[in-house]
Amino acid sequence: MASRSEAIDTAAIVRQSLHGRRFSPGGLAFELSLLVMLLVSLAVLVTLLADIISGALPVFRDRGIDFVTSGITLDSATAGVWTGLVGSVGIAIIVAVIAFPLGLGAAVYLEEYAPDNSLTRFIQTNIRNLAGVPSIVYGLLGLAVFVRLVDLIGLGGSASTGGRNILAAGITLAVLVLPIVIITASEALRAVPDTIREAGFGVGATRWEVVRHHVLPSAAPGVLTGTVLALARAFGETAPLLVIGVATGFFSAGSAGLFDRLTGPYTALPVVVLSWSRQADPAFKENLAPAAILVLLVVLFAANTAAVVLRNRYDRKW
């Protein structure tokens, strides 16, 4: 008897478990708490954006594009971000010129040429570690090495600039983003199937010919996506620039020529945000700094969107 009723109970329990209770308070509470976490994260970020946009709106309403195209001034009515934008774009170009070939070259070596030996593994570990080094440490490296190097080879500008110029900034940030470029380019190269390479070798092509004509073109979208993301990172960096002597106050390059711009003092968009947040006139921290942040975010958003579009549009599924 006892055993029989037990069997019935077991069947009932199994059936109940399989159907599940309609209402499971524990499970619902768990799901809700997760949802709350997600919503709080998003709410915080919405607050951040709302705070910045509401501060920035009056500036764009009153001055429109004029805010973007005017230079740094001390009057809240005329100050604009152009000087900072030019500096940041200049830095980004130098970063691209240095980090793209170096990063791609290193990735091609590691993925296509490198034998599986301890040197290769050491280089790979080293690159991963470099990617995690805090940006301010790169600033110290820039101050100790690149600023002096630029001055030493005669590109330091006047004695007062002494190498604290956009070239040194570009080199420092290029070194900072290099690990990102290498890692993303490696991933893109790894995604190219070996059959492509084998087909190339099969018709007698050398490794370089295979890489140049088959692997690189296939990996190009991924490589470019990674590079764009790395440039976006460089565009938003502030701390290393502070350490290597970016101009933090009033700055005007006027109509200086290209060479003077490269070797003379410079400023950058994120630094403009910092310097406006400490101006005495409250209009700077209440409206102009948020407006500058908005310009910065729009540029970064555009770069990120470009990267995503690039990836989705041209990335081949093998």
Partner 1 sequence: MTAPTGTVDLRGEPRRLRRELRVKRVFLAAAVVSIAISIAIVASLAGNAIRFFTEVDKASLLDVGWFPRRSRFDLLTPIAGTLVMSGIAMLVAAPLGLGAAIYLSEYARPRVRRLLKPVLEILAGIPSVVLGFFALLWIGPNIIVELLNSPKPATILTASIGVGILVTPLVASVSEDALRAVPQGLREASYGLGAKKSTTVRTVVVPAAVSGIMASLILGLSRAIGETMVTFMAAGAVGGALRTWDPLDSGTTLTAAIASVATGSDQVAGEALAFDGVFALGITLFAITLLLNWVSDRFVRRVREKY
Partner 2 sequence: MLTKTWTALVLVLALIATACGGDDTSGEGDGGGGAGTIVISGSSTVEPISARNAQKFAELNPDVTISVEGPGTGDGFKKFCAGATDISGASRAIQDSESEDCAANGVDYVELNVAIDGLSVLTSINNTAVGCLDFKDLYALIGPESLGFDNWSQASALGSELGATHAPYPDAPLVITAPGEESGTYDTFVEFVIEDLAEERGQENAARLDYVASPNDNTIISGIAGSDTSLGWVGYAFFVENQDTVAALAVDDGESGCVEPTSESIADGSYPLSRPLFIYVNTSKAAAKQELVDYVDFYLSEDGLASVGETGYVALADYSETTGAWANR
Q: Which is nearer to partner 2, 126 or 158 (CB)?
A: 158
Per CB under 8 A, contacts with partner 1 among 68-87 are none
Q: Which is nearer to partner 1, 34 or 256 (CB)?
A: 34
Cα–Cα distances (Å) from 64 to 55, 68, 291, in that order, read: 14, 8, 11
Which of 120, 121, 230 minimizes the C-alpha distance to 176? 230
267 binds, among partner 1, partner 2, none (CB under 5 to 8 A by kind): partner 2
Q: Which is nearer to partner 2, 127 or 222 (CB)?
A: 222
Q: Which is nearer to partner 1, 44 or 256 (CB)?
A: 44
With CB under 8 A as the contact rule, which of the stretches 4-12, 72-80, 123-131, 253-261 interacts with partner 1? 123-131
Q: Which is nearer to partner 2, 165 or 186 (CB)?
A: 165
- Contacting partner 1 (CB under 8 A), which of 7, 12, 137, 199? 137
Q: Which is nearer to partner 1, 30 or 259 (CB)?
A: 30
CB contact set of 236 (below 8 Å; sequence gap of 6+): 270, 296, 300
Rounded to whole angstroms, how far apart are CA atoms 33 and 27? 10
Neighbours of 289 (CB within 10 A): 23
CB burial class (10 A; 0-12, 13-18, 19+) of residue 231?
buried
With CB under 8 A as the contact rule, which of the stretches 4-12, 62-70, 217-225, 291-299 interacts with partner 1? 291-299
Q: Minimum distance from CB of 23 to partner 2 (Å)?
A: 49
Kindly state whether residue 47 participates in binding partner 1, applying the rule CB under 8 A. Answer: yes
Kindly state whether residue 301 participates in binding partner 1, applying the rule CB under 8 A. Answer: yes
10 binds, among partner 1, partner 2, none (CB under 5 to 8 A by kind): none
Q: Which is nearer to partner 1, 2 or 38 (CB)?
A: 38
Cα–Cα distances (Å) from 224 to 4, 61, 66, in that order, read: 70, 36, 32
- The 3-state DSSP class for residue 280 equals coil
- Rounded to the nearest 10 degrees, the angle between the axes of helix 216-236 and helix 289-314 is 170
31 binds, among partner 2, partner 1, none (CB under 5 to 8 A by kind): partner 1
- The 3-state DSSP class for residue 77 equals coil
Residue whose tokens read 């029989």: 4
- Contacting partner 1 (CB under 8 A), which of 12, 44, 93, 153? 44
Pair 188, 223: CB distance under 8 Å: yes
Which sign, positive or negative, has the C-alpha torsion 57, 61, 66, 71?
negative
User: What residues make contact with partner 2 under the rule CB under 8 A?
Assistant: 73-74, 82, 86, 89-90, 92-93, 154, 156-162, 165, 217, 220-221, 224, 247-261, 263-265, 267, 277-282, 285, 306, 310, 314
Tokens of 197: 């390479």
- C-alpha radius of gyration, the chain, whole number: 27
With CB under 8 A as the contact rule, which of the stretches 1-9, 13-21, 69-77, 220-228 interacts with partner 1? 13-21
Per CB under 8 A, contacts with partner 1 among 185-224 are 204, 206-208
Q: Minimum distance from CB of 263 to partner 2 (Å)?
A: 4
Neighbours of 43 (CB within 10 A): 12
- Contacting partner 1 (CB under 8 A), which of 10, 11, 24, 78? 24
